[in-house]
Amino acid sequence: MNKIRMNPFARPAGKFLAVWGFAFLCAALSLGCGYHLVGQGGPLARGGQRIGVPIFENKTDRPEIEQRITEQVISELNTRTKLIVSGDDHGVDTILEGVILFFGVQPVTINPDGRATRYEIIVRASVTLHDLHNDLLLWEDQHFVFRGQYDVDPNIQTFVDEEIIAIEEIARGFAESVVTSLLEGF
């Protein structure tokens, strides 16, 4: 009869895999995987608890664009962060300032009658975030560009300024992009 010699240090395969699996899991958790939560590592995380957003400066011919964009940026910061947001620079830790440099509207689609049915709005701005306590520039984008399109119904008989309605949407999208950049550090 053949006698099989067992290794006294051998463990059953199930226990072996469980021990190594647990060790691997612990190592992976301690090292991290390189990902982080959105909104945790951007410039806003380094700037304090109170942020001021004064009305953006308007260097374009389009009236009200600066007010609508500033309102939407404040709204977006209130929605997506836990910061105390102020409309001025009094008693704040950081300040987000912007200058609207360009506002353009151009037709994108023209119907057979020669009337534009879709337009594109382009907004270019300079946006900066400053830490007021340490006099540091936390984030800057001198050429922040946002584009959006809107449709015009060529069959409408009464005058409706579709551009005003579109500007609201553009301002909202612009604000979402700015706040995303601040939260994610782009």
Domain annotation covers residue 22 = no
Q: Which residue has the higher pLDDT, 5 or 46?
A: 46
Q: Between the CA of residue 29 and those of 23, 24, 26, 32, 77, what are the distances in Å?
A: 10, 9, 5, 5, 32
Domain annotation covers residue 146 = yes
pLDDT at site 39: 42
Domain annotation covers residue 65 = yes
pLDDT digits (tens, 9 = 90+) for 125-142: 999 999 999 999 999 999
Q: What is the domain range of residue 86?
A: 43-184
Q: How confident is the model at residue 114 (pLDDT cuts 50, 70, 90)?
A: confident
Domain annotation covers residue 24 = no
Closest CA to 178 of 25, 44, 50: 44
Length reported for the chain? 186
Domain annotation covers residue 16 = no
pLDDT at site 151: 87
Q: What CATH number should be reported for the domain holding residue 174?
A: 3.30.160.150
Whole-angstrom Cα distance, residue 38 to residue 61?
36
State mean pLDDT over 31-41.
46
Count how many domains the chain has.
1
Domain annotation covers residue 120 = yes
- The answer to whether residue 110 scores a pLDDT higher than 80 is yes
